[in-house]
Chain A
Amino acid sequence: MTLALSIGILVAGGVFMLLQRGMIRIVLGFIMLSHAVNLILMSAGVTSRRDAPLMATADPATAADPLPQAFVLTAIVIAFAITIYMLTLAVARSDDDTEDPS
């Protein structure tokens, strides 16, 4: 329940920020959205099983599903890289709001 609420709040905030005009706000919106999606991925594995999924020690009944965690790790790296790139785009040109006259 907490997870679903957090995802909902993050998506709402992210979408609100995306609809703003400035590039920096859009970037912040994306950070929230990607966190929300990471939480969706985490919730796709069963969240009640939390033991470390190490073959030698863990009980399969209580060990966490490592695959969504690997997904999230990959997704974080990609989101991080694109965030940096979007920030350079935000710096590269200061007026966000106006269309080019051409």
Chain B
Amino acid sequence: MNAALLPLIVAVPLLVAALLVVLDDSPAVRRWLMILPSVGALAAGGLMIAETADGTVLAHNVSLWPNGIAIPFVADAFTALVLTTTALLTLVASAFAIAVGTVRARYFPVLVLVLSAGVYGALMTGDLFNLFVFIEVMLLPSYGLLAMTGGFTRLTAGRLYVTVNLLTSTIFLAGVGLIYGVAGTVNLAELAGAAHESPLVAAAAGVCLLALSVKAAVVPVHGWLTRAYPATSPAVTALFSGLHTKVAIYAIYRIYAVVFDGDSRYLWIGLVVFSATMVIGVMGAVGQDTTRSILVFHMVSQIGYILLGVALFTPLGLMAGIFYLIHHMIVKASLFLSTGAIEHAYGHSRLDRLGSIARREPILAAAFLGAALSLAGLPPFSGFVAKLSLVTAAVDAQQWAVVATAVAVSLVTLMSMLKIWGTAFWGPKPDDEEEVAGSGTGIDSQAPLGSPAATAEADGGAAPATQTAVAAPAATAPRPEDGSATRSRVRPAVLLPSVVLTLVTLGIGLGAEGLLSLSSQAAAGLLDTSAYVEAVIGR
């Protein structure tokens, strides 16, 4: 793969998005145009992995401008791995959005494409200011996505989300300005090791890292995530969970490795903060009573695990952190999609109103169970390898408190997953289920942004139709043990995305060797940044 093709990965989704604005009429056209760029990015990511697996770094300055004023695109093994996973998740979440009908919302495909272009750009950029721009390209469509699909709380959540993200973007930009002021450049390769030598650059880059930590939802600045994500539609939550916080995590890894050169003086801050993230995230999940809010709190907890890799900054620790990042993106999206499928079919995600799903939806239940066990870290799923290697790395570094925290939090995670499993999947069927079944039709309604009245109308219009549909089986089968209780409500197309992702995590768990060696290559690229620097500056 020629390095000059790297900008295309960003440009193609943007161009297709522009095309989609014009061709918004035909549903088939918009679906295919939404899917195809992700397929292309997935293929490009696969090629990129093959190319960078031996430690090669691809770098290209757009239009061959000189360093400093160019827009540099850089891809090493770490970039390739994260980019491929991102493309896979975008593809799967798009398929889910098509299956449940979220895609019918006006401009939904356009926004998803711009979002994915921003993510790819943020992963590949080699310049801090361009990182800011690409993060904004990623965030602007997500403001729209968050507020246009979802329940009644979405506008409140949308305000919170925009406010927090705009504030952190502003802080990040200030950090970039300070770095330019003290170092005279914002090109990552030219900044290599600068923070290690100069405390001024370290302070300026610290401002950037602080902003990225908020975006990654690290405790104590995680509150926005747990409030904003459950309010939107399941498809959007799955998409965001795979992309947003992970871009921030990727940037933290990259900046700490390149600009700080893995400076061991500041690592203790990471160890303390990320351990607290693990504990507080999982504790927050205990108090939640809907599937999605439990999963969102677990996401916070898992972010602590992922970032531990950079806080250890040993070859093993970085490898484990990168492996954990890939594993987590896939598993979390799988969980959001399987519970999202339940939410779509049964109209809500409250644990006290769900029950005996395992009998009705055996395949969905299996997909959820697999992903949940993987999240908790049980073999043979990828979570086991991820946790094992992370704990081994912490033992190697003799961080016993971290080891104890990681293991204890795993146990609580497992209990929390069993809570969802025990009530929603295995628990007794609640009595009022038939009444609430159709009440969630507003989730994917096409009501225009910012008009609660229109949403209410859409709900009012859709509800009678659904209720009659639900009432028909209820009339023929008055006893819950009859046919209707075991009849599956989740269509195969809605089921497929989460099943695919659970199979991926199982596959990674069984064949962990391949991904581990790629992760270790990526970790080597972070430990020794000379190849990265040479690829960018050396031309």
A residues engaging B (CB < 8 A)? 18, 23, 26, 30, 33-34, 36-37, 40-41, 43-45, 67-68, 71, 74-75, 78-79, 81-82, 85-86, 88-89, 91-93, 96, 99-100, 102
| Complex-state Cα separation, A100 to B169, whole angstroms | 27
Whether a CB of chain A sits under 8 angstroms from the CB of B530 is: no
Kindly name the residue among A18, A40, A88, A96 whose own CB sees the greatest number of chain B CB atoms within 10 A. Answer: A40
B180 touches A30 (CB 8 A): no
Interface membership of B143, Cβ < 8 A: yes
Q: Does B166 contact A (CB under 8 A)?
A: yes
User: A18 and B167 in contact (CB under 8 A), knowing A89-B155, A102-B152, A102-B153?
Assistant: yes
- Are the C-beta atoms of B173 and A75 separated by less than 8 Å? yes
Whether the pair B162, A41 counts as a contact (CB closer than 8 A) is: no
Can you list the 5 inter-chain pairs with the closest CB atoms, starting with the nearest? A92-B450, A44-B181, A41-B177, A44-B180, A40-B177
**Chain A residue at minimal CB-CB distance from B129:** A71
Q: Say yes or no: A82 contacts B174, CB within 8 Å.
A: no
CA–CA, A82 and B142, complex, Å: 12
Whether the pair A86, B166 counts as a contact (CB closer than 8 A) is yes
Q: Beyond A43-B181, A71-B129, is A89–B450 a contact (Cβ under 8 Å)?
A: yes
**Which residues of chain B are near A43, meaning CB under 8 Å?**
177, 181
Q: Is the interface of B mostly helix, strand, loop or mixed?
A: helix
Nearest residue in B to A75 (C-beta to C-beta)? Answer: B173
Q: Which residues of B come within 8 Å of A, CB atoms?
A: 68-69, 129, 133, 136, 140, 143-144, 147, 152-153, 155-156, 158-159, 162-163, 166-167, 169-170, 173-174, 176-178, 180-181, 449-452
List 19 additional contacts besides A36-B174, A43-B181, A93-B155; criterion CB under 8 Å.
A18-B163, A26-B163, A30-B166, A34-B170, A37-B170, A37-B173, A67-B68, A67-B180, A75-B173, A78-B133, A78-B136, A79-B170, A82-B143, A86-B162, A88-B449, A89-B158, A93-B450, A96-B159, A100-B152
Q: Is the interface of A mostly helix, strand, loop or mixed?
A: helix
* Contact among A18, A82, A93 with B156 in the assembled complex (CB-CB below 8 Å): A93
**How distant is the Cα of A95 from the Cα of B152 in the complex, in angstroms?**
13
Of the candidates A34, A71, A81, A99, which one forms a contact with B140 in the assembled complex, judged by CB atoms under 8 Å apart? A81
Chain B residues with CB under 8 A of A79 = 170
Q: Which A residue sits closest to B174, measured CB to CB?
A: A37
What are 15 A-B contacts defined by CB distance under 8 Å? Answer: A34-B170, A36-B174, A40-B177, A41-B176, A43-B177, A43-B181, A44-B177, A71-B177, A74-B133, A82-B143, A85-B144, A89-B158, A92-B450, A93-B155, A100-B153
A79 to B166, CA, bound (A): 8
Inter-subunit contact A41/B173 (CB<8 Å): yes
Shortest distance in angstroms between B521's beta carbon and chain A's nearest beta carbon?
34
B450 surroundings in chain A (CB, below 8 A): 88-89, 91-93
